[in-house]
């Protein structure tokens, strides 16, 4: 299953009478932060605000960001380490 296309998320918000500005205000974040969560930058709290507004679960919109049980997948950054020879 693929994530919803960002424009589909935006369109569904508009179809249900919402705006990015109103959802951003509800989430206590900027409109830009909300847009970034829709587009590419995962943010669990913002994803929940959007999903709640759409009467869905976040994993239904962004399955790549959640496991099969609907729990957030946490990615850890890896660092290149040098080993002295």
User: For a pLDDT cut of 90, what percent of the chain falls above it?
Assistant: 68
Query: Tell me, what's the pLDDT at 34?
Result: 95
DSSP string over 20-75: HHHHHHHHTS-HHHHHHHHHT---HHHHHHHHHHTTS-HHHH-GGGB-TTSPBP--
Per-residue pLDDT tens digits for 25-56: 999 999 999 999 999 888 899 999 999 999 99
Q: Topology of 6-65 in CATH?
A: 434 Repressor (Amino-terminal Domain) (1.10.260)
Q: Domains of the chain: which residue ranges?
A: 6-65
46 near 28, Cβ under 8 Å?
no
Neighbours of 23 (CB within 10 A): 21
pTM (predicted TM-score): 0.82
Mean pLDDT of the chain: 89
End-to-end CA, the chain: 46
């Amino acid at each position: 299953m693929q994530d919803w296309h960002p424009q589909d998320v935006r369109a569904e918000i508009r179809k249900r009478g919402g705006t990015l500005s109103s959802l951003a205000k509800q989430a206590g974040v900027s409109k830009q932060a909300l847009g970034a969560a829709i587009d590419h930058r995962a943010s669990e709290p913002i994803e929940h605000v959007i999903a709640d507004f759409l009467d869905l679960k976040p994993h239904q919109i962004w399955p790549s960001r959640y496991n099969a049980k609907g729990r957030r997948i946490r990615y850890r950054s890896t660092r290149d380490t040098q080993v002295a020879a």
